[in-house]
A and B are shown apart, each in its own frame.
Chain A
Amino acid sequence: MSDVWLVTEREMKTQARSRAFQIGTGLMVLIAFLAAALPGLLGGDSDSAEDHGTIGWVGPPGALAAALTGFEIVQLSDAAAARQAVIEGSVDAALVPDAEASGLGLTILAKEEAPDELLGALTLTPAVELLEPPRVSGIFRYMAGTVFAVVFFMIVMMFGQTAASNTVVEKQTRVIEILLAAVPARVLLAGKILGNAVLALGTVVALVLGLVAGLWVGGGASDLGRYGAQVGQALGAEGGLVGLLAEPLIWFAIFFVVAFVMFSALMAGSAATVSRLEDVGSVLMPTMMLAMIPYFLVIFFQDNATVMRWLSYVPFSAPIAMPLRIFVEGVPWWEPVVALAILIATTWLAIWVGGRLYSNSILRTGARTKFKDAFRSAA
């Protein structure tokens, strides 16, 4: 076990010290932060400001004018003056009495487009009561789905490939013979996977923190921003969104780590069959497909409850689909537990397959070892 930890430690240290890793991770966290913060910061003052604009008013201001809160009312002498003021731009819109108009007996003058805010202020809207409100509204659902899927896919690919390419580097530089003279192949594989899993989880945590910080900073106007403000508050206070977010996030972390081990065991095992870094890409294709197909299925079918239910049990898509379902609809406690059990069983199988590929081909240099041969024969 201490040997595994030594390998893990080396794997993490080398990786964390590489410039590419530092810059790559830094950039990802920065992008996550900006993606969350910018819509809020740039989303503008369209519906945030109390000041909705300047309205020209012809005639004595009555109760109606007083009801237009948030608008600045400017007295104008007659319809012609109002027309002039709107064209000049000294007012955003003007209300002129119009005997022929139905309803309020007013016509709104505006320059290029109908003033939505003024219209809204003048419209009577009945209250709406939703009898079965969704836990999470559409945009957040979509956002959460995309974030889970993108983060999962990106991080698994990134660190899985690191585990794979480090395997080939050890083979290519022949350091593998010295390593194998000291410890068995499965210890090396375990240490390598564990080291990258820790780094991957750390990166996910950094990304989530970046997102939350971005939402907080951008908190304000836009939908995203308001959501951010809520999250911010919720994280500061108690209950509310914390409850809503914490459960799927914790499940995501658990599923993520197990699924990462599954994918990287397969990737490192596949990578051991080649001897040159240039060949890694092609041997990783089958595993990539296993990760990519569920990823797109979740992205495309996140509104389809039936498909999502199935996807949340398929081990390759469960890490994305199950936390998403927990977030969006809430599921009974046993559902993620069963999905996790399926995932763990599949992971065990993947470790067995990956370990076999790895042990049987890690010392075979030269031409690529066929998966079939690597799987069957002992080195």
Chain B
Amino acid sequence: MLELEAVSRAFGSLQALDKVSFKVQPGRLTGFVGANGAGKTTAMRIAMGVLSLDSGQVLFDGQPTTPQIAARFGYMPEERGLYPKMGVREQLVFFARLHGLDLGRAQRNADDLLERLGLTARAADKVEKLSLGNQQRAQIAAALVHDPAALILDEPFSGLDPMAVETVMGVLRDFAGRGAPILFSSHQLDVVERITDDLVVIAAGQIKASGATEALRERYAGSRYRLVLPAATASAGEALIAASPGVSAVSVERVGAGGGQTASCLRVNFDATAELAQRLLAESLTLGPVEEFGRVIPPLSEVFKEVIA
């Protein structure tokens, strides 16, 4: 497990990180989200040991990290960096050996990753000859090539096309399956939503929320419900909601069935306590069948907005 404990760091008068604490569990993909300048990159660089901290500590499996321990981590920096005039495979082998792998294992790992990331055909090419997307894949390979004990990836999905995003997600999932903790930052919340097990939200150098992604969404889901009634009972339903105390409709829509038909169903979003919502559901059922009823779990982007607000 990778753990930041009350880590603070200032750049001049700017407090980039203020007592930041969070955990990255082994075998779990932890998404790290926050606005630009919130402190994600600073926190990741400190976790990697390429930046020093003012106070606090970084722990790996309960031990404070040393350069020797951090050397076993895999890292993808915010600003991409590979030797532009060096071959892709040669470069991966070099990085793997720099992390202490022997030549044979370094070569096997490099070939394996190139294959999985679809770069085998470009293995001998210089990095500068690759497209940006392929450079990005090579960068991910460079972070993974030495069988790291933990992974810290700064924006691994930026600049990738949807296919490549899938590929990289697959590689990261497999890697998490081996039991290593993975921390990655991203602005693509739809991607984060699909892939993360845990989430850490940072704003202005402070951790605003952290924990299992589903639990966070649940917590911020609030008391919004959604009810859809068929055309036959639409008008009656509308009247029912207007007459129910404690139920405040957020949106009431008549959704056409299409094809020029006048008949249309009723779709209502409303805020209410769980008890009142259940009562409304029961009353609706007395009118006729209910097409849809449930709590509205907001997309991550809304949770994010609410958390950092």
| Given A178-B75, A378-B52, A379-B51, residue A183 in contact with residue B81 (CB < 8 A) | no
B157 part of interface (Cβ distance < 8 Å)? no
The reply to whether the CB of B208 lies closer than 8 angstroms to some CB of chain A is: no
Contact partners of B146 in chain A: CB under 8 A: 182
**Which A residues are CB-close (under 8 A) to B84?**
173
- CB contacts under 8 Å to B, within A129-169, are none
Q: Is the CB of B51 within 8 A of A363?
A: yes
B50: nearest chain-A partner, CB-CB: A180
Q: A6-B97, A14-B85, A173-B83 are in contact. Are A178 and B51 (CB under 8 A)?
A: no
Q: Is B293 an interface residue (CB 8 A)?
A: no
What does the 1/0 interface line of A310-327 toward B look like (CB < 8 Å)?
Answer: 000000000000000000
Given A173-B83, A184-B67, verify A178-B73 contact (CB < 8 Å): no
Q: Report how far A178 CA is from B86 CA in the complex, Å.
A: 15
Number of interface residues of B (CB under 8 A): 28
Contact code string B160-173 (vs A, CB < 8 Å = 1, else 0): 00000000000000
- Tell whether A14 pairs with B86 under 8 Å between CB atoms, given A174-B77, A178-B95, A363-B51: yes
Interface SS, A side: helix
Whether, in the assembled complex, B82 has its beta carbon less than 8 Å from a beta carbon of chain A, the answer is yes
B82–A173 touching, CB < 8 Å:
yes
Q: Is the CB of A174 within 8 A of B80?
A: yes
The answer to whether A175 and B83 have CB atoms under 8 Å apart is yes
Bound complex: CA A174 to CA B82 (Å): 7
> Is the Cβ of B81 less than 8 Å from the Cβ of A181?
no
Q: Do B52 and A182 touch (CB < 8 A)?
A: no
Chain A hits for B215, CB < 8 A: none
The B interface, classified by DSSP as helix, strand, loop or mixed, is: loop
Q: Which residue of A lies closest to B85 (CB)?
A: A14
* B98 in contact with A363 (CB, 8 Å): no
* A178:B71 contact, CB within 8 angstroms: no
Question: CA A7 – CA B95 in complex, angstroms?
Answer: 10
Of the residues A14, A170, A182, contact of B95 by C-beta under 8 Å:
A182
By the criterion CB–CB under 8 Å, are A10 and B94 in contact? yes
The residue of chain A having its C-beta at the shortest distance from the C-beta of B67 within the complex is: A184
Known pairs A3-B98, A6-B94, A10-B94; A181 contacts B82 (CB<8 A): no
Q: In B27-80, which residues have CB < 8 Å from any A CB?
A: 45, 48-52, 67, 70-71, 73, 75, 77, 79-80
Q: How far is the CB of B38 from chain A (nearest CB, A)?
A: 19
In the bound complex, do residue A177 and residue B98 qualify as a contact, i.e. CB atoms below 8 Å apart? Answer: no
Contact B83 A14 (CB under 8 A): yes
Which residues does chain A contribute within 8 Å of B143, judged by CB atoms? 178
Residue from B94, B98, B146 with most neighbouring chain A CB atoms (10 Å): B98
- A344 located at the interface, meaning its Cβ lies under 8 Å from any Cβ of chain B in the complex: no
Chain A residues with Cβ below 8 Å from B94 are 6, 10
Within the assembled complex, what's the spacing in Å between the Cα atoms of A363 and B45? 11
CB neighbours (8 Å) of A3 from chain B are: 98
> Are A174 and B81 CB-contacts (below 8 A) given A181-B75, A363-B50?
yes
Give every chain B residue within 8 A of A184 (Cβ-Cβ).
67
Q: Give the residue of B70, B75, B97 whose beta carbon is less than 8 angstroms from that of A177.
A: B75
| Chain A neighbourhood of B45, CB < 8 A | 177
Q: A305 on the interface (CB 8 Å rule)?
A: no
A291 within 8 A of B: no
A184 CA to B67 CA in the complex, in Å?
Answer: 8
Complex: A182 Cα to B52 Cα, angstroms: 16
Residues of chain B within 8 A (CB-CB) of A201 are none
Q: Is B7 an interface residue when CB atoms closer than 8 A count as contact?
A: no
Whether, in the assembled complex, B122 has its beta carbon less than 8 Å from a beta carbon of chain A, the answer is no
The answer to whether the Cβ of B119 comes within 8 Å of any Cβ in the partner chain is no
Residues of B within 8 A of A299 (CB): none
Known contacts A3-B98, A6-B97, A10-B94: A177-B71 contact under CB 8 Å: no
Flag if B50 contacts A175 (CB, 8 Å).
no
Mask of B94-121 contacts with A, CB within 8 angstroms, 1/0? 1101110000000000000000000000
Contact B98 A6 (CB under 8 A): yes
* Chain B CB within 8 A of A345 CB: no
A350 CA to B97 CA, complexed, in Å: 29
Given contacts A3-B98, A173-B84, A183-B98, whether A178 and B52 have CB atoms under 8 Å apart is no
Considering only residues 221-276 of chain A, those with a C-beta below 8 Å from chain B are none
Q: Would B71 and A181 count as touching, CB distance under 8 A?
A: yes
Which single member of B71, B75, B83 contacts A183 (CB below 8 Å)? B71
Cβ of A179 < 8 Å from any Cβ of B?
yes
What's the nearest-Cβ distance from chain A to residue B106, in Å? 10
- Inter-chain contacts of B52 with A (CB < 8 A): 378-379
Q: For the complex, is B228 an interface residue (Cβ under 8 Å from A)?
A: no
Closest residue of chain A to B48 (Cβ to Cβ) is A181
A176 at interface by CB-CB < 8 Å: yes
Q: Does B200 contact A (CB under 8 A)?
A: no
Answer whether A179 and B79 are a contact pair too, CB < 8 Å, given A14-B86, A173-B84, A184-B67: no
Q: Which A positions have Cβ atoms within 8 angstroms of B?
A: 3, 6-7, 10, 14, 18, 170, 173-184, 363, 365, 378-379
Closest 7 CB pairs of A and B: A174-B81, A175-B81, A174-B79, A177-B77, A181-B75, A182-B98, A182-B99
Known: A173-B84, A177-B48, A177-B50. 18 other contacts (CB 8 A): A6-B94, A6-B98, A10-B94, A14-B85, A14-B86, A173-B82, A174-B77, A175-B81, A177-B77, A178-B143, A179-B98, A181-B49, A181-B70, A182-B98, A183-B98, A363-B50, A378-B52, A379-B52
28 contacts between A and B (CB under 8 A): A3-B98, A6-B97, A6-B98, A10-B94, A14-B83, A18-B85, A170-B81, A173-B83, A174-B77, A174-B79, A174-B81, A177-B48, A177-B79, A178-B77, A178-B143, A179-B98, A181-B50, A181-B70, A181-B73, A181-B75, A182-B71, A182-B98, A182-B99, A182-B146, A183-B98, A184-B67, A363-B51, A379-B52
